[in-house]
A and B are shown apart, each in its own frame.
Chain A
Amino acid sequence: MTAALSILAVWLGAMGLNRRIARNEGPLYAIIVAAIFGITLLVLWEMVVRLYHVAPVILPAPSAIGKSLAANLPLLWGDFVQTILKGAVVGWVIGALAAILTAIAIDRSPFLQRGLLPIGNFVAALPIVGIAPIMVMWFGFDWHSKAAVVVIMVFFPILVNTVAGLKATDSLQRDLMATWSAGYWPSLLKMRLPAAMPFIFNGLKITTTLALIGAIVAEFFGSPTRGMGFRISTAVGQLNLPLVWAEIAVAALAGTLFYGIVALIERRVTFWHPSQRQ
């Protein structure tokens, strides 16, 4: 009873505090409110686990996860390099380059666009992670097969976005380039590609998460004895839940960082776009 009451008290107290702070305007207050909410959730989690003696094989406390994170840093770093840097990022870069080049190639042919775009949209909705066992068979257990899965997963969303982006110039702008007698390549490089950048980055940002999902899920089908997906599935088997949660925390951090870096590059590249203006 006292346990439930104290948990309730913490929740109400934090929300009351947030209600106070939320009356203010400004980006700093927004960050504070979000941070308080997040920290409150962690504290409540810790309290529930401790006060109700939840077994660590069901739900470990955040402090136990933190300890496991600190104790297994070299292991986690190795998994991070294997899955994120080698599998996800390499595959993402190859897939993005291939998609953008394909989009530029089919840009000149309305026929190919009419044929490929519906298929691209269709494929983008399919559960492509299912291709993982096939890639593992073809490219072996190491990171190459993971990168291959990621290439296929990120290809179509970026393709569809880039094709849409290459159409983003209006006839006034194209006429202006024509009056300067700019040929196909100058107008592509100086007008249409820059104009397509917001769309391309939209695709790039969506696919950062897909890349991580592809790399992690592909490891469930076979991997060398390192990697985040491998670690998660084996640690679950050993009921070492704190390590699983530590790995998930790393995955969350990696996903946020990956997205953040792409968003940062976007801000640099598309500084002229209304959505980037302060």
Chain B
Amino acid sequence: MTEIPAPALRMRRRPALYTGLMQGLFPVLVVLMAIIGVWYLGAFFLNSTWAQDQAARAGQPLGFMDLVSATMTQDRPVLPAPHQVAAGLWDGIFGQKITSKRSLVWHGWITLAPTLLGFAIGSLAGILLAVGIVHSRVMDMSVMPWAIASQTVPIVALAPMVIVVLSSMGITGLIPKALISAWLSFFPVLVGMVKGLRAPDRMQLDLMHSWNAGEAQVFWRLRLPSAMPYLFASLKVAVAAALVGTIVGELPGGASAGLGARLLSGSYYGQTIQIWSALFMAATLAAGLVLLIGVIERITLRRMGLAR
């Protein structure tokens, strides 16, 4: 039913974009609608117990339609309905002054700033160490096994300690969270970049050699360009990891600002709508960051003549 016969399309001179949309966007939209439908059903069933309790206590039997409306409008539902979350998000983003403590934009910025700083530090360190590893056999044999092994370690467990230790040394705010983000984004970049810098094969290296290219020229003209696709793939992983690091870094130590703190205070006071709004805000931030790196990737690869 989604397939529109191709000849008809051609006769009406529909551009390829149209079929692309029907092929690409339509199924996604249908699945999204299905998810929202399941969500509404879930909200109805999960919230109905409380609604019926309230009605029984008040001595008023609930009709079906009353029950439906009662499950969709609770203040602290077990599962808020999608429109409640949307309203919470809207209110948090546009309904408040940006400087207000109830504004999601403000909390989002508190989370975003350390994420970006940590991501910059972590990926820069990862790239530099990768360059060292590719050029030094000792470093490769010493550091690389540990870098790979560290991928299997739940590094986030370190977050509370880093926060508390640094605050006992008088360092609070942006820096501790940025350090956790940096640590989390460091390893994906390191591993991806080493893989990328090693991507040129024997033949390409020999060709450079036959042109009498020095180590530096091989690096700038061959290794670095061929590492770019690998670098961007791991940067996307790293930026998502950096955001997770910041959010987890906001959990301990009674932080009062940031999306992680919103999650925590929401869970203390049973404010489910607040939790879900903060969650969606975090998801939006993550998606935005990944998309942004995708755009930078496309521009960079085109400038370097690597676009496929």
Contacts and interface: CB of A to CB of B under 8 A. Distances in A.
Interface of A: 15, 18-19, 22, 29-30, 33-34, 36-38, 57-59, 111-116, 118-119, 122, 125-127, 129-134, 136-138, 208-209, 212-213, 216-217, 220-222, 228-229, 232-233, 236-237, 239, 241, 244-245, 247-248, 251-252, 255-256, 258-260
Contact of A111 (B2, B248, B263, B264): B2
Contact of B165 (A29, A33, A58, A237): A58
The 10 closest A-B pairs by CB, nearest first: A133-B267, A115-B31, A115-B27, A37-B142, A259-B152, A212-B154, A114-B27, A34-B145, A33-B141, A252-B153
Interface stretch (B93-101, B122-130, B276-284): B276-284
Contacts of B156: 129, 213, 216-217
Given A137-B267, A232-B160, A232-B161, A30 B141 contact: yes
Say which size band chain B's interface belongs to: 35 or more
Interface string B273-305: 001101100110011001000000000000000
Nearest to A124: B240
Contact of B32 (A30, A119, A244): A119
Nearest to A133: B267
Contacts of B153: 209, 251-252, 255-256
A129 B267 contact: no
Given A125-B236, A137-B272, 15 more contacts: A15-B142, A19-B138, A115-B31, A125-B240, A126-B286, A133-B275, A134-B267, A134-B276, A134-B279, A220-B251, A221-B264, A239-B164, A239-B168, A251-B153, A251-B157
Given A127-B282, A136-B267, A259-B152, A119 B31 contact: yes
A126 B267 contact: no
A39 to B, nearest CB: 11
Contacts of A19: 138
Nearest to B163: A236
A216 B290 contact: no
Contact of A247 (B157, B248, B263): B157
Nearest to B270: A137
Interface of B: 2, 23-24, 27-32, 35, 78, 137-138, 141-146, 149, 151-154, 156-158, 160-161, 164-165, 168-169, 236, 240, 243-244, 247-248, 251-252, 259, 263-264, 266-267, 270, 272, 275-276, 278-279, 282-283, 286-287, 290
Nearest to B111: A127
A236 B176 CA distance: 15
Given A126-B282, A222-B267, A255-B154, A217 B161 contact: no
A126 B28 contact: no
A263 B267 CA distance: 37
Contacts of A118: 24, 28
Nearest to A118: B28
Contact of B244 (A33, A113, A129): A129
Given A115-B27, A137-B272, A247-B157, A217 B248 contact: yes
A34 B168 contact: no
Contact of B278 (A36, A37, A130, A233): A130
A206 to B, nearest CB: 9
A216 B138 contact: no
A202 B160 CA distance: 30
A241 B247 contact: no
A237 B198 CA distance: 45
Nearest to A208: B152
B70 to A, nearest CB: 20
A92 B74 CA distance: 33
